[in-house]
Amino acid sequence: MTEGSGGRIGVGMVGHAFMGAVHSHAWRTAHRFFDLPVVPELAVLGGRDLARTKAAAAKFGWASVQTDWRELVTSPDVQVVDICTPGDSHAEIAIAALAAGKHVLCEKPLANTVAEAEEMAAAAAAAATRGVRSMVAFNYRRVPALAYARKLIEAGRLGEIRHVRALYLQDWLSDEQSPMTWRLRKDKAGSGALGDLGAHIVDATQYLVGDLLTGVSAITNTFVHKRPDESGTGQLGDVTVDDAAVFIGRFAGGALATYEATRFALGRKNGMSVEINGSLGSLRFEFESMNELSFFDGANDADEAGFRRILVTEPTHPYVGAWWPPGHLLGYEHTFTHEVVDFVRAIHDGVDPSPSFADGLRVQRVLDAVEKSAGAGSAWTEIAE
């Protein structure tokens, strides 16, 4: 592996807003609870505005700052580049970092287009032959309850998978006077609720069932087409992404799937949920109760049958043993710490981490098929592999 001096690995992170704050916490925390072969060092924080970047660095514990990401990715103090920027810059930064021999962690969705994602996946594959690793930050894979659900599915506890249902519901854009952000501009975000939320549930379901979607039929909608721009002058900006996406799909193994992603579901703050029905049992997970997993075992007698609640806080559950005693709950931020732990270990062990850029490309192809289907009147659209 490529690492810094004294058993440390230098991290350079580009972007310091919401995701930057969460990732900073993860890099600071990982080695304090998990036994890591090297200690992450918060070496360089990148941002466009020097004053704001310095303030973020002081707040989150970064040693230095850089306003040019090109300088950051070539810095000798940096062995890992963490990309927490809007999607329009993912490809350029990631490809440059990989070419410079830096390991790359990139926020989701991988890119704004399939073409960009293909370039990134190809660069990652080429870099892997030189021992340079890359991973997409689909943090829900690192929720202990979902990681445990995957174990149950892999062990055959659900039998043949037949139905998959996934929702990601938020309400932060329900107010028509909420101002414009980069997430509402297609040139920056690629898509709206589809990429922001739908990417998560597509990846989570493909990860859980160990299978890929092969086709979709979709509807998308934009409810509010103009919003106050960021200047505060009362000028209106055009919303150029979807506010909601609904689609059905089919997995290669034959399972049927339904997906909903919206930022207009009043009362839902971060309502990500997944239900999987098989021939022998069913599982249900809701992120707003993220330490719990509901499991129906079809082998139980009918007079005792029913969903039972599994509290996923035992030390034998994925990731949990490094934290608190049973029943002392984990939160959203822990999923990013688990992400960092897995990534650092993969780098040290010389293995390709998961989800890979190839996995991110597969999700991008689903998002692309959803947009094409919605644009063609919900026509069934195959997903190219």
What one-character-per-residue DSSP string does 142-162 give?
G-HHHHHHHHHHHTTTT-SEE
Within this chain, do residues 31 and 147 fall inside the same structural domain, yes or no?
no
Q: Is residue 187 part of a domain?
A: yes
Q: Is residue 30 part of a domain?
A: yes
- Residue 227, phi-psi category: left (phi > 0), alpha (psi -120 to 50), beta (remainder): beta
| C-beta of residue 329 within 8 angstroms of C-beta of residue 291 | yes
Structure token pair of residue 160:
């043949």
Within this chain, do residues 115 and 233 fall inside the same structural domain, yes or no?
no
Nearest alpha carbon to residue 367 among 253, 249, 224: 249
Within this chain, do residues 186 and 241 fall inside the same structural domain, yes or no?
yes
Q: Is residue 380 part of a domain?
A: no
Query: Which of 105, 125, 140 is at the close of a domain?
Result: 140
Within this chain, do residues 295 and 316 fall inside the same structural domain, yes or no?
yes
In whole angstroms, what is the distance from residue 103 CA to residue 115 CA?
21
Within this chain, do residues 89 and 145 fall inside the same structural domain, yes or no?
no
pLDDT for 231 equals 77
pLDDT for 175 equals 95
Within this chain, do residues 230 and 368 fall inside the same structural domain, yes or no?
yes
pTM, entire model: 0.96
Q: Is residue 301 part of a domain?
A: yes
Query: Which of 86, 116, 140 is at the close of a domain?
Result: 140
Q: Walk along the chain (385 residues) in steps of 10 and give the mean pLDDT of each run.
A: 71 97 98 98 98 98 98 98 98 98 98 98 98 98 98 98 98 95 96 98 98 98 94 88 98 98 98 98 98 96 94 98 98 98 98 98 98 98 91
B/e letters for 8-47, b = 16+ CB within 10 Å, e = fewer, are: ebbbbbbbbeebbbbbbbbbbbbbebbebebebbbbbbbb
Within this chain, do residues 233 and 340 fall inside the same structural domain, yes or no?
yes
Within this chain, do residues 41 and 20 fall inside the same structural domain, yes or no?
yes
Query: Which of 140, 170, 196 is at the close of a domain?
Result: 140
**Cβ neighbours around 97 below 10 Å, total:** 30
Structure token pair of residue 277:
């029905």
Containing structural domain, residue 296: 141-352+364-375
Within this chain, do residues 152 and 120 fall inside the same structural domain, yes or no?
no
pLDDT for 30 equals 98
Structure token pair of residue 318:
């994925």
Within this chain, do residues 248 and 313 fall inside the same structural domain, yes or no?
yes
The CATH number of the domain holding residue 59 is 3.40.50.720
Q: Please state the domain count of the chain.
A: 2
pLDDT for 234 equals 79
Within this chain, do residues 155 and 123 fall inside the same structural domain, yes or no?
no
Q: Is residue 160 part of a domain?
A: yes
B/e letters for 123-136, b = 16+ CB within 10 Å, e = fewer, are: bbeebbeeebbbbb
The CATH number of the domain holding residue 323 is 3.30.360.10
Cα 216 off chain centre by: 21
